[in-house]
Structure 1
Amino acid sequence: MSEGVLSDYIIDWREFFCGWGAAIINVTLTYPINKLIFRQILHGTQIIPAFLQLKNEGFYYLYRGILPPMCQKTLSMSLMFGIYEEVRRPLVQLGFNPYTAKTIGALTSGTTEAILMPFERVQTILADSKHHIEYKNTIHVFKELKKYGIREYYRGLVPILLRNGPSNVGFFIIREEFQSRFPKYENHLLRTSCEFICGAMIGVVLSTVFYPLNVLKIHMQTKVGGKFDNPFKVLVEIYKERGGKIRYLYYGVQMNYTRAFISWGIMNTAYEHIKNFVY
């Protein structure tokens, strides 16, 4: 890195903060929908049986497991936006092609987010009804997993890596292309609506494309202890268990892209509003 670039390079905490704040708003509003999707993925059921299952369990269990995603998502979104910009910016200053810089920045941020995988692992266990009696809360799960070694916290790492990096590339590039081509409205309501639609549509596309990886990740992470199965082998087993049809791997995808529409719409809108405030 040249002396001029080094002298101009200062870590900007504001991007980290914007991502963190947007995640808090996002997780709080969308957790029940996310849990409904989880049950569909895990049990391969339609939306009505999954909804009735959650209803019968009651409100207490509805928000059971929210602490891990709250911790994971706030840190994850902070890293996603912060590291992306901290990697992209110096690469552009060094003369890299803007799209190359964006791709490297997005892949780096997505891979770095995988450090927070233990939170996602604990959330999966707490959301699975078969573990309701065995595990009491977030802290209890963390303590119990410790018995199996550090690797147990990272069970299901491969599908997460395959999901995070490429989906971040898609998000940042599509988002910036959308913003550069869409009219800049002065009206606050119109501008907010555009921000929501931008995030929502990107979320729908990316969440649908990478949905089978989430199915694979959940099935790998509901297992506690024992050997670590080959991801491809697990995916084939799920495929066979669900009747040997690709479309059965997409159980819950309707609720998933509905959740993604709301979640990423909220996240993008919240991020832009917080960004306008802190800048």
Structure 2
Amino acid sequence: MKENNLINRELEKQSRGWSSRSYVYGAVSSFLSTFVTFPIYKTIFRQQIHVFVMREAIRQFQQEGLRHFYRGLLPPLVAKTVQGTLLFGTYDTLLRFVSANHSGPYKLRDRWKAGFMSGSLEAVVLSPFERIQNIMQDGRKNVRFPDIHSILRYFNSCGFKEGLAEGYFRGFSPVLLRNGVGSALYFSFKDPIRDCLSGKGLPSWLPPLVSGSVNGTVTCLLLYPLSVLIANMQSQVGQETLSIGESMKSIWESRGKKVSLIYRGGSLVILRSCVTWGLTTAIHDFLQGNTGRKQE
């Protein structure tokens, strides 16, 4: 474990220029973890939209059949791969840039700045993917939009300006806030938690797994109301666009003004976040550590 930390810290002290490895590591780790967590994610989405308990969401999947269960897999698979590429790659590049004026270990404020900027860039690129994904996973739209091409045709028929605003980038503001703050929190505490657990006689893969699981879970739970808001805003098609305040008020009232109903699906968020961010962080650090050993 100490050897892994020394390797990671040595990599931090190396050239602060652009490196393609971080982009590759992010892509591979996110791609692999997406396969494991897609069924969990889709169940959470149904709970966010319909305020279902878990067994009701599962019953709805059974009624729709296996063919529709994996409907909507391609957008998150592509989006998560691109997300990992951007998130880890641009974070590494931006971190080297914002900390270029001083040497030594990266400071908390530098990790926060780089994480927030990386998450914001990720939001700009991935918001259209999330928009399409949320429409496809809403069972009420299976007939109207049977596939991705039908959604794209509808967006393109709205005209360029209206298609961007009402189609691909509907609900963009809360996506920007969630991704920026979420990435800043994740990268600020990922390495400190991992380093704190290292050197305690644990297997080398366990500290990054626990770090990613704990950090990702806490971050997702804090920002979960924003995810509910985004899911409801982006799943709407052809309806009047409400402001963020109006959308929040509508969701709050539809949930009976109960926080427990806002967090419906929260138990699965814990499971999904533990698996997703734990695997992603462990795979990423494993690839990074192996590269460090080869360089030595």
Same fold (TM > 0.5): yes
Give the secondary-structure state (helix, strand or coil) at the position aligned to 1:93. Answer: coil
130-139 vs 38-47, which moves further? 130-139
C-alpha distance in structure 1 between counterparts of 2:156 and 2:27, whole Å: 28
1:9: how far off?
4.9
Q: Distance in 1 between matches of 2:198 and 2:257?
A: 46
Q: Distance in 2 between matches of 1:56 and 1:221?
A: 24
Q: What's the TM-score once normalised by structure 2's chain length? A: 0.86
Match of 1:138 in 2: 148
Partner residue of 2:235 out of 212, 216, 222: 222
Shift of 1:241: 1.0
TM-score, normalisation: structure 1: 0.92
Cα deviation, 1:121-166, whole Å, max 9, x if unaligned, reads 1100000001111112223322222223111200011111111111
| 1:165 corresponds to | 180
Please give the alpha-carbon distance, in whole angstroms, between the structure 2 residues aligned to 1:223 and 1:91.
39
Deviations 1:63-102 (A, max 9, x none): 1111111111111111111111111112222139722211
Distance in 1 separating the partners of 2:110 and 2:206: 29
- Alpha carbons of structure 1 residues 138 and 185: separation in structure 2 relative to 1, 3 Å: farther
Out of 178-187 and 265-274, give the one that drifted further. Answer: 178-187
Please tell me whether the aligned partners of residues 68 and 120 of structure 1 are also in contact (alpha carbons under 8 angstroms).
Answer: yes
Gaps of 5+ in 2: 1-14
- How much does 1:226 deviate? 3.8
Aligned ranges 1:258-269 → 2 under 5 Å: 258-269=271-282
Match of 1:209 among 222, 226, 230: 222
Are 2:209 and 2:282, in contact at CA under 8 Å, matched by a contact in 1? yes
Residue of 171, 180, 185 corresponding to 1:156: 171
Residue in structure 1 matched with residue 4 of structure 2 by the alignment: none
Per-residue deviation, residues 186-227 of structure 1 (Å, max 9, x unmatched)? 87xx12122211111112111110000010001101111243
Residue 17 of structure 1 corresponds to 24
For 2:291 and 2:32, the matched residues in 1 are separated by: 16
Alpha-carbon distance in 2 for matches of 1:80, 1:215: 22
Does the 8 A contact of 1:145 with 1:153 survive in 2? Answer: yes
Cα distance, 1:270 vs structure 2:
1.6
1:46 is aligned to 53
Q: CA RMSD in A?
A: 1.7
Equivalent residues, number: 270
1:83: which partner in 2? 90
Q: Residue 14 of structure 1 contacts residue 278 of structure 1 at CA under 8 Å; is this kept in 2?
A: no
2:112 is equivalent to residue 103 of structure 1: yes
Deviates more, 1:22-31 or 1:130-139: 130-139
**What fraction of aligned residue pairs are identical, expressed as a percent?**
27
User: Any idea what SS the aligned residue of 2:204 has?
Assistant: helix
Tell me how far 1:278 sits from its aligned partner: 4.4
